Amino acid sequence: MSLPPSQLDDDDRERQVLVRAIRRLPRRHRDVFVLHRFTGMPVEQIAERLGIETRAVEARLAGALGRLSRAVEQAGDGGLLNANEGLGQDRLCAGIVRQTPIISR
């Protein structure tokens, strides 16, 4: 159950925006993004696991980051996507990992 926006602090709002944006990514972008950013899998290993070229992984990752960046900008939360943040340890983001079919194979 979500709290009304007026009861959320800035971190919670940012987290909700990011989680919603990740869930809305096309599956091919979401799979690559989740594997790379939340599990720390290297691009080469993602390519091997998905049976695609390394360049395709890089292109999908770039596509995912572009879409997420636009979603965050539209929500008015610029600067949210800091690659150095420990988002993979967040419970909400961990839920995304569990919901992504490619992870559970």
pLDDT of 63: 96
Three-state secondary structure readout of 69-81 = HHHHHHHCCCCCC
Model pTM greater than 0.85?
no
**Cα 31–105–87 angle (5° rounding)?**
45
Instruction: Inform me whether the pLDDT recorded for 84 exceeds 50.
Output: no
Residue 38, Cβ neighbours under 10 Å: how many? 19
Distance CA 15, CA 81 (A): 10
pLDDT of 56: 98
Render pLDDT for 8-50 as a digit per residue (tens, 0 to 9): 677 788 888 889 999 999 999 999 999 999 999 999 999 999 9
Q: What is the mean pLDDT of the chain?
A: 78
> Rounded mean pLDDT of 78-98?
48
> Rounded mean pLDDT of 60-77?
88
